[in-house]
A and B are shown apart, each in its own frame.
Chain A
């Protein structure tokens, strides 16, 4: 195993741990909605939510890094350039995350001063981590980019997938620079903030996961390189062709000009089209392999990725993307429903697929199967479906009563709190969140106890016989 692949496994392990932290703080955040006064002035909702959503970003980023450190040396058939530095920075990254979380838990917030921005909490969604930590992330991403590009230079070659990844790394790193400024004008702040968030999750991250899925298919079902590369180019053309100006769907109501209604609405409404293409591709691959692959969990999580992306991003997104609808759905639990579903489908499922693939290959197994992965697959996906369904009902109730009828005043908000469908939605969300957490626990159990398929079969036979 290359050193880079060992580092990849470390990142994937850290990613799994962060996934757990995200789930724990997500469950915690959901309790505030159903238990009035819960931990008020002790540990407020906003801090719990910060750990939850920043945990989301970190577990996925670590998953991406883990996947790429895993695939890269195999792709170029040589050790990754600068791997020693990357290994050090892994531990720095983990330590930084731990410190940031500890400060958020025990200090939570500071006075309105620059030192709060540098050391405690920057208070901008998804990028609340203090500036010193943001600098750390820039260092990690910078070294990562050096590892990738430097290895290609050292090997004096590249491949189609790797070239796409390298070009994608540039905006990926540059966009993160929006994690630093403190912009007085909220319209301008949100304008640039959406460059970071949207052009990450609906553009550069889509390309990144596309590259990772391309490598996954090569190593999972021996897909032809030429085929996956061709498809990757199609995907990039469609996703960036629609996603770059689809950014405008965040510019309807932040003070920016009205032309974003037409531009953002139009390109955003086009975004589901390439996602349907991805579903076709997934079904084609599933059919070509007769729904069989030696590594069954990786295969099924790859399929889940295509479908989850389409439904969570495409269906849920299209419901709320037109400006006339968004005027009322904007900033409600409806948004949270779409956000959870889209992140899960587009990225969560993909990282889990890589977890299983790396597990299989790192142990030299010839395939992977178990009963636990099926339980985990079911619990996680049913848990997610339940959560987003509950949030959708609550969000539609909120859009209807609080926004459309109530006019979004404080009084409308207070009246909304007690509405039965909203309250039931919040309880249902928590219940399915618990199911999701059980799915996570089962996933970890499966990853820890995975063994060779033959050994698993022998054991079940022995258990059946006794």
Chain B
């Protein structure tokens, strides 16, 4: 790959995980405080993650295997916050019942 493509791809990959983190943080914050702005922020972050995924697939010279991985990760990152949150909530609820 060209030097410029290398840098652009690296930045997109970092932004990919950062967007996933922002989505996770805002999703959880919205579950705590139930503020519309936080919920919207969460959606926007995930939309950002999808756009970055699209850019990685369409514009970078990564091998197709890595592109498939990135798309799969994008879907998995969608599920991590709600699944983890549900797990933690149930765990704490069961503990309170005990």
Contact = CB atoms under 8 A, between A and B. Distances in A.
A218 B31 CA distance: 23
B16 interface: yes
A231 B65 CA distance: 32
Given A227-B92, A324-B6, A310 B80 contact: no
Interface in B4-19: 4, 6-7, 9-11, 13-14, 16-18
Interface residues of A, number: 40
Contacts of A277: 80, 84
A226 B94 CA distance: 10
A465 interface: no
Given A276-B80, A277-B84, A288-B92, A325 B6 contact: yes
Contacts of A314: 17, 21
Contact of B81 (A231, A276, A401): A276
Q: Tell me if A's interface is mostly helix, strand, loop or mixed.
A: helix
B66 to A, nearest CB: 6
A272 B89 CA distance: 22
A276 B6 contact: no
Give the size range of B's interface with the partner: 35 or more
Contacts of A280: 24, 28, 80-81, 84-85, 88
B25 A283 contact: yes
Given A227-B88, A287-B33, 19 more contacts: A227-B91, A231-B88, A231-B91, A273-B76, A273-B80, A276-B20, A279-B21, A279-B28, A283-B25, A284-B85, A287-B31, A315-B21, A318-B14, A318-B17, A319-B10, A324-B6, A324-B63, A400-B7, A404-B3
- Please provide the 4 A-B residue pairs with the shortest distance between their CB atoms, ordered closest to farther: A287-B32, A404-B3, A319-B14, A283-B28
Interface of B: 1-4, 6-7, 9-11, 13-14, 16-18, 20-21, 24-25, 28-29, 31-33, 61-63, 65-66, 69, 73, 76-77, 80-81, 84-85, 87-89, 91-92, 95, 98
8 contacts: A227-B91, A273-B73, A276-B24, A280-B85, A287-B33, A311-B18, A322-B66, A325-B9
